[in-house]
Amino acid sequence: MTSPSGDFPSRRCCTRACARGLAIWKHCSRFYARSWATARKTRNSKIVIRNSQLATRNSQLAIGNSQFVIVIRNSKEEETMKPKLFVLILFGALLALLVPAPSARAAGPIAFAAAANYSVGTNPYAAAVGDFDRDGDLDLVVANYTSNNVSVLLRNSDGTFAAAVNYSAGTSPIAVAVGDFNRDGALDLAVANYTSNNVSVLLGNGVGTFAAAVNYAAGTSPRSIAVGDFNLDGKLDIAAANQGSDNVSTFWGIGNGTFSAAANFGAGDGPSSVVVDDFNRDRKPDLAVANQNSDNLSVLLSNGDGSFQAAVNYNTGNAPFSVATGDFNRDGKPDLAVANSSDNNVSTLLGNGNGTFQAAVNHPVGTRPRAVAVGDFNGDAKPDLVVANYLEYIPLGVKSCGSRAQIPPPQEQLEMIHSTMIGLETLTHFLNTTQSANRAFRQRIAV
């Protein structure tokens, strides 16, 4: 049975304590995944949005909680036989890299080899990817909250990464985005600094190094950052969601790597995440903002001149912590997914294509979900959904045959095809059962 609504099935919680790690099982044509972790009390981290300015052959996705997980796909690697997909986990001052095991299938559950660890700054909160040295390989940048810097790790030809090089930012960097702000063909960085209430811009020189940060005053406690051409002048602009001042600051790009002073637009109470997409399909980038304290989502439609219409709010669950965009029902209209930290669920809001959205439908996940992300994890060209949960033990699973399934408990006859330590906290994966144009399809995620 399939659903035309872009719905996702429920998941079932595990009541017994388990060791830390992630395991994936396969049985017949059914796939099950189960991840578990012990809880840790640390400051919340951020989701990092997709950056449309990266080369079209690359798609990148980053999600996070108190540890950070980033999933990266590069279609160029199909030709070079390098690992096609890899996962990064950031916690403490360490970055862990997991690459696919040789037996992993691109269109099915993904198994990972043992993690490779890379040191970064202290308390890494967010990450983004881009080809900073223009060698055709995706590199990494990590925002380090406590050490007040960003770490850049250049990718080697063998898929490993060079040691991190750190660049100073503002105080408490909490989010990072990538774009070519001076139009020289080299990727630059924009960093949201939570405590110093500003945005740092670091211009890249195309060989993997960056100039000193230039800071621009934002609102109070910028928590999330995104890029887009908001005034349609061909120059990238920046948007920062300010959790303390209940607004979004936009900075217009001049085209030479500098930016205008911030223009502020009201959102809800406690904006914690911002994403960019064209929600009314008028070819103007709009904003969606998750408001943690007012339990809603603000949509700000673009006027095309750098300004935005007044926010229209949509109810979500309690304490929406992050928002992501994707076409869940494959009707060509952007939809939204919101992680509700206090309700332990994720809200999906289907877009009508005119800038409005249908009422939220909630899907239970783990305890304290802090991040939600959308991407094609299994290479089937269909949007998948993954959620990072701050607390709880969670078994996960999907079913690839028969009717839409509840997640079953592990069975003794299941074959464990891979198991690896992933650190702390958990991930919830969804099966997207959607029918579009009278064609049924299913999606699976296994990380």
* 82-119 pLDDT tens trace: 333 444 545 455 555 545 445 444 444 544 455 567 88
Cβ-based burial of 410 (10 A; exposed 0-12, middle 13-18, buried ≥19): middle
* Average pLDDT of the residues in 428-444: 36
What does the angle CA 365 – CA 366 – CA 368 come to, to the nearest 5 degrees? 110
Q: Does residue 92 contact residue 123 with C-beta atoms inside 8 Å?
A: yes
Output Rg (C-alpha) for the chain, integer angstroms: 20
Residues pairing with 252 in the sheet: none
**Please, are residues 5 and 432 in contact by the beta-carbon 8 Å criterion?**
no
Instruction: Return mean pLDDT, the chain.
Output: 71
Residues 6+ apart with CB under 8 A from 310: 266, 300
Q: How far apart are CA 174 and CA 80, in angstroms?
A: 34
pLDDT of residue 78: 34
* Residue closest to 71 by CA, chosen among 86, 90, 56: 86
Length of the chain, in residues: 447
The residue behind tokens 């195309």 is 206
Sole residue written with tokens 């790009």: 253
- pLDDT recorded at residue 52: 28
Among 25-29, 144-148, 339-343, 365-369, name the one with the lowest average pLDDT.
25-29
CB half-sphere exposure, 101, CA atoms < 13 A: 15
Q: Which of the pair, 136 or 111, is modelled with greater confidence?
A: 136
| Superfamily in which the 44-386 domain is placed by CATH | YVTN repeat-like/Quinoprotein amine dehydrogenase (2.130.10.10)
Q: Considering all CA atoms of the chain, what is the largest pairwise distance in Å, rounded to the nearest integer?
A: 62
Instruction: Note the pLDDT of residue 6.
Output: 58
In the prediction, which pLDDT does 407 show?
Answer: 28
